[in-house]
Homo-oligomer: A and B are copies of this chain.
């Protein structure tokens, strides 16, 4: 650990607090924040030499089965109430604008196929992405712009965000429900398993693109 080295190199420095104390500190920091906090962010608040990962592990165990749980959100952590107690908080429910069917489908396609281009979303849904769908998802901070695809035209890709993971209670995009089954069934590919080239069947503009789709999956994670 670089922190240990630093601590060793600097005899003036205080030794890090005991793990139980580190755990208390991480608990206090995460309790105070409504947003998930990254391990690096947490470490920056702690005295030098602390082992955030270990403290988090201990803390998570401590809250196992409690009314409040320590949840992992991508590379970040947050306390959230246990899902089975949601009925007690009915008064705090934030009335969210109901997403249209087009928006939920688009969101699912981005989550399961990410990084995905607009043309690929349209190919899967069989209709053009309507105005307002993508910007609604971006505004909710559930979707962001990923790397451009390295294919002709260099189209923009879309990926899901940490806020998305937090909202849907997912530790990472790999934990999407049914992801493994969908992949095994070949349904995250651009063409049926075993099919030779059926070029440009319903694809008019970016044939080459979709082949890259499956390979790219979650690459930038």
**Residue in chain B with minimal CB distance to A24:** B67
- A48 close to B (CB within 8 Å): no
Q: How large is the interface on A (under 10, 10 to 19, 20 to 34, 35 or more residues)?
A: 35 or more
Complex Cα–Cα for A82 and B27 (A): 10
- A85 close to B (CB within 8 Å): yes
Write the A81-92 contact mask toward B (1 if CB under 8 angstroms, else 0): 110010011011
With A27-B67, A67-B23 as contacts: A175 and B187 at CB distance below 8 Å:
no
- A208 close to B (CB within 8 Å): no
Complex Cα–Cα for A175 and B155 (A): 9
- Once the chains bind, are A28 and B175 in contact (CB under 8 Å)? no
Closest chain-B Cβ to A17's Cβ sits at a distance in Å of: 11
- Once the chains bind, are B156 and A177 in contact (CB under 8 Å)? yes
Residues in B whose Cβ lies below 8 Å from that of A27: 66-68
- Once the chains bind, are A89 and B29 in contact (CB under 8 Å)? yes
**Residue in chain B with minimal CB distance to A157:** B175
- Once the chains bind, are B186 and A45 in contact (CB under 8 Å)? no
Complex Cα–Cα for A138 and B177 (A): 13
- Once the chains bind, are B28 and A171 in contact (CB under 8 Å)? no
- A79 close to B (CB within 8 Å): yes
Pull 20 A–B residue pairs with CB atoms less than 8 Å apart, ordered by A. Answer: A24-B82, A24-B85, A25-B67, A25-B85, A25-B88, A26-B67, A27-B67, A28-B68, A28-B89, A31-B81, A33-B92, A34-B92, A45-B88, A46-B88, A118-B181, A118-B184, A131-B186, A135-B185, A147-B171, A171-B220
Q: Which residues of A contact B (CB under 8 A)?
A: 23-29, 31-34, 45-46, 65-68, 79, 81-82, 85, 88-89, 91-92, 118, 129-135, 138, 144-148, 155-156, 161, 169-172, 174-177, 181, 184-187, 189-190, 220
